[in-house]
């Protein structure tokens, strides 16, 4: 992303981006990653960025259904080392994703299960009443 600058200690930031396996439509999309205001379009999986040591503002969002799963965090990059941030897209579009130093859980799983259950129950009731 940034060309190494002479005299500045450098480190590496790895952003590991994943999505729920049940959300197959995410696979067809790309991600918008912004580091210190500089946008980069990436794919799912791991992307590496060589950056000057110090704190960096990182924003990640999926391009699924517009902009989904937006998150923002400041990540300290350490000179001579690699720091990994794990991004996980949400189970329901328009919810925030999650990002952190360890693999993240999927946000919105409970809400997705409740939503599907309510819809199935509504179809069953409507079907029994002859309205569907």
What's this model's pTM, rounded to 2 decimal places? 0.78
Question: What is the structure's pLDDT at 54?
Answer: 96
Smallest CA-to-CA distance from 105 within 127, 119, 89, 82 is with 89
Contact between 62 and 69 (Cβ < 8 Å):
yes
Q: Are 15 and 85 in contact (CB under 8 A)?
A: yes
CB 60 within 8 A of CB 104: no
Q: How do residues 36-66 score in pLDDT, each as one tens digit?
A: 999 999 999 999 999 999 999 999 998 877 7
pLDDT tens-digit map of 12-40:
999 999 988 766 777 888 899 999 999 99
Q: 65 near 91, Cβ under 8 Å? A: no
**What pLDDT, in 10s, does the model give residues 3-12?**
556 678 999 9
Which residues, at least 6 apart from 21, have a Cβ–Cβ distance to it below 8 Å? Answer: none
């Amino acid at each position: 992303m940034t060309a190494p600058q002479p005299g500045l200690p450098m480190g590496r930031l790895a952003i590991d981006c994943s999505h729920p396996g049940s959300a197959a439509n995410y696979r067809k999309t790309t991600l918008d990653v912004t580091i210190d205001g500089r946008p980069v379009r990436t794919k799912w999986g791991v992307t590496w960025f060589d950056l000057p040591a110090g704190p960096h503002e990182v924003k990640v969002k999926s391009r699924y259904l517009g902009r989904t799963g937006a998150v923002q965090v400041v990540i300290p990059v350490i000179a001579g080392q690699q720091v990994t941030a794990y991004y996980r897209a949400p189970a329901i579009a328009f919810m925030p994703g999650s990002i952190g130093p360890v693999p993240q859980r999927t946000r919105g799983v409970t809400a997705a299960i409740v939503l599907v259950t309510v819809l199935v129950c509504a179809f069953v009731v409507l079907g029994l009443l002859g309205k569907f």
